Structure 1
């Protein structure tokens, strides 16, 4: 089995959050924040969101948001307008949650997706990587609300602590080409930086790829990010 080289990674200190982390918000802090947003009065689900234990996700910081708070977001279900709610709260009011794997949320996916999910999980096993969902499948699994429709994508995160083997990217593309849904997502680096997997695969040698980090966007050289290993 081909393995991605695992560089030494220092564990994150307590209260340090990275992009794509799932967090639970202290219900009191949530209620206080919601009380400052008259524009959200009556929006479905929000009043009970934190009290029901539903998570938020750490997103990219936008201009004007200081480093003293953690930028967060949640999408409402499509039936409720598919609105994306953004906020920022102090780290001490948040608890990091373990993000579920794709295999763990597979029962929440449409039956037509199951073959693709099995192939993706097997690909992860081959390379020692555990794919995680985000997007509609994640939110449906962790909230119990309806996010998926026949037109939904399967959005995945591939946590990779080292250069990504070309074989993983090529095999993922082959699965995507035969999938009944659009297969989207990112390679996720340890600091939360995301690289679109297909852009990383298709970038020329010596080229660059868009990197999405907690504090902004940047173009990074491909060479340190992609390994020629294909097995």
Structure 2
């Protein structure tokens, strides 16, 4: 059984694409599926149902590009249809999706995250555009970051860097990702640490929990 986390990508076998394209349940999605199958684009892991047998289909999906209406297409896969697990691009790799005036600021931000030993990745519109070469980014598109952290202090340092990001960049959104797979929106973390909210929404592969500041999950206990 594959061990999956949110925002992971899956590369599929040709036989998986053939099955999906033959499935009449996906008739409306066939243009996007055909494109994905032809180019071998990845699909993204979705929330998995908790507590089900190991042979339960894997939940995955893909967002169609702007040219195909931006539809979100849900897929059910067998574990043996997955060729390998992949990842969204590293932050520095999405530079081509930004406008020329934004690139110096983005490079500076990437350098600051690297200095914190945070190998940030980019999902969402900018991530998919870099992965596929298709059009996803629109004026006003957020830049979604997946930020692996292991301590409160590291998470706080990342938040300070993001909050002071160079002017002119897209709005920075995204999540702090903890070693056990728990993820927290970085803006929500900042508000929680500042005492502006009394609870924190923690996202996992099989659901979400509202964690109160005085009764946290072990990976989120106060330093």
Q: TM-score, normalised by structure 2?
A: 0.83
Give the structure with the higher percent helix. Answer: 2
d(CA) in 2 for partners of 1:25, 1:99: 15
Query: Residues 29 and 73 of structure 2 are in contact (CA less than 8 Å); yes or no, is this contact kept in structure 1?
Result: no
Find the aligned partners of 2:92 and 2:174 in 1 and give their Cα distance: 16
Quote the Cα distance in structure 2 between the aligned partners of 1:64 and 1:174: 41
2:159 corresponds to: 169
Partner Cα separation in structure 1 for residue 26 and residue 58 of structure 2:
21
Question: Which residue pairs with 2:23 in the alignment?
Answer: 36
Higher relative contact order, structure no. (Cα contacts within 8 Å, ≥ 6 residues apart): 1
Within 5 A, what are the aligned runs for 1:58-77? 58-61=45-48, 68-77=56-65
Distance 1:150 1:122, change over 3 A: same
Partner Cα separation in structure 1 for residue 29 and residue 93 of structure 2: 33
Pair 1:35–1:191, CA change in 2 (3 A): farther
Q: Structure 2 vs 1, CA of residues 159 and 110 (structure 1 numbering), >3 Å: closer, same or farther? A: same
- What's the CA shift string for 1:81-127, capped at 9, x where partnerless? 11101112122211112432111222233323313321321221221
- Which deviates further from its counterpart, 72-81 or 213-222? 213-222
Tell me the residue number matched to 1:10.
none
1:85 aligns with 2:73: yes
Aligned to 1:19: 6
Distance in 2, Cα, partners of 1:84 & 1:148 = 15
Alignment-derived partner of residue 56 in structure 1: 43
Cα gap change, 1:170 to 1:76, in 2 (>3 Å): same
Q: Does 1:139 align with 2:113?
A: no
| Residue pair 2:65, 2:136 contacting (<8 A) in 1 also | yes
Distance 2:52 2:18 in 1: 20
Preserved CA contact (<8 Å) 1:129 1:158: yes
Q: Do the aligned partners of 2:89 and 2:123 also contact (CA within 8 Å) in 1? A: no
How many corresponding residue pairs?
Answer: 214
C-alpha RMSD of matched pairs (Å): 2.7
- Deviation string 1:20-61 (CA, Å, 9 cap, x unpaired) is 111101121122123223453464331131341100111213
Instruction: Supply the distance in 1 between the matched residues of 2:134 and 2:221 (Cα, whole angstroms).
Output: 37
Question: Do the aligned residues in 2 keep the contact of 1:19 with 1:191 (CA within 8 Å)?
Answer: no
Structure 1: 5+ residue stretches without partners? 1-13
Aligned twin of 2:33 = 46
Aligned to 1:187: 176
> How many angstroms apart in 2 are the aligned matches of 1:104 and 1:172?
18
- 1:110 equivalent to 2:105? Answer no
* Contact 2:143–2:172 (CA under 8 A) maintained in structure 1: yes
